[in-house]
Amino acid sequence: MSFEEFQNCARLYVIGALEPEGLQDFEAARKQYGAAAEDFINQCYSLHEAFALSLKPAKASSAIKERLMAMVRERSQNQSGSAST
Amino acid sequence: MSSAADPELQGVPASDVEVAPTEKSFLRAVEAEPGKPTDVDLMMGIQAGDPDALSQLYDRYNGIVKALILRIVHNETEADDLLQEVFMEIWNQAKNFSAQKGKPLGWMVTLTRRRAIDALRKKQAYARAEERLQAEPEQQPLAWVQNTTAEDIRLGDTRALMAKVISSLPEAQQQVIELAFFQGMSQREIAANTNIPLGTVKTRLELGLKKIYDSLKELKDEL
């Protein structure tokens, strides 16, 4: 697999669209190209951020945060309580 | 159910989440205002068990995270529930985040996408998604790029820039990327759902992703 072909596969890989039959060759090329391959895969994850940042932010109910923080604080207190006993 | 070789969705226990290594990301996340903690500062705070750090991270990103969830599950109530679950997971899994490996936003987006797609599959919402797809085949790609204006772009709004990059793709490429990224479909599932030959699906995905990737590289300095 050429590095250009590897790059195409890597972009599919990070969004989960690399088909199973292509995975073995991709992993072999990943080993073959070593650090350059890992570096490129890392860069490809920018695609995730791009897709998310392209969306118009959605408004969430304020109750969600209240519930979340109540759960977190309860968990924190339980953990600190069990740590002190 | 997707049969794709998904690095995120297959064979990775939720407890072993260590995702989105974006050390050399092209994008900057929502920048913290001067004097305010950076995203990494907040992640460090969460790792140290500080609820206020999570509260601030939530305030900064709940809109983006919910938009991503909503894009995947298409249901407001489910999206709110998942939003809470995702931030709870961020709290629980923060120990797996490493600033050396990537940025907090990338980590959160990958985690969010996985969680939302898992929920979509578990609730067997695929059938409903397919119905929606058939009912509004031309609305999906356009909804992706709504509200993008020249003024937004002049102001350097990251969202508008990202939307502009994506909207520059031919609709056929937007469609397959939409189905792969936001619906978690494999190439075969996309082919089956759209009646597009498998080879064409692959080509469109490769071309579309390459264009977005190359555009992000070009935007790197601007961002």
Is residue B5 less than 8 Å (CB to CB) from chain A? yes
Please report, for chain B, the start and end positions of each structural domain, with discontinuous segments joined by +: 19-24+31-123, 126-223
Residue A56 touches chain B, beta carbons under 8 Å? yes
Please list every residue in chain B whose beta carbon sits closer than 8 Å to the beta carbon of residue A64: 62, 80, 83-84
Q: What string of pLDDT tens digits covers the 223 residues of chain B?
A: 444 444 543 333 333 344 444 444 555 555 556 678 999 999 999 999 999 999 999 999 999 999 999 999 888 999 999 999 999 999 999 998 888 777 888 889 989 999 999 888 887 555 655 565 565 544 333 344 444 444 344 434 677 777 888 888 999 999 999 999 998 899 999 999 999 999 999 999 999 999 999 988 887 655 4
Spell out the residues 6+ positions from residue B107 whose beta carbon is closer than 8 angstroms to its own.
B19, B20, B22, B97
d(C-alpha B58, C-alpha B52), whole Å: 10
Spell B115-137 as b/e; 16+ CB within 10 A means b: bbbbbbeeeebbeebeeebeeee
Stretch (H or E) spanning B36: none
| Residue A80, number of CB atoms within 10 A of its CB | 11
- Tell me if the domain spanning B19-24+31-123 has CATH number 1.10.1740.10: yes
Q: Which long-range contacts (CB under 8 A, 24 or more apart) does B125-131 make?
A: B125/B73, B125/B74, B125/B75, B126/B1, B128/B74, B129/B74, B129/B183, B130/B193
pTM exceeds 0.80, yes or no: no
CATH hierarchy code of domain B126-223: 1.10.10.10
Nearest-angstrom CA–CA distance, B155 and B149:
10
Size of interface A-B (CB pairs under 8 A): 186
Least Cα separation, residue A46 to chain B (angstroms): 5
Within the 69-108 window of chain B, which residues sit less than 8 Å (CB to CB) from chain A? Answer: 70-71, 79-80, 83-84, 87-88, 91, 101-103, 105-106
* Tens-digit pLDDT string for chain A (85 aa): 999 999 999 999 999 899 998 999 999 999 999 999 998 988 888 888 888 888 888 988 889 999 999 999 988 887 776 666 5
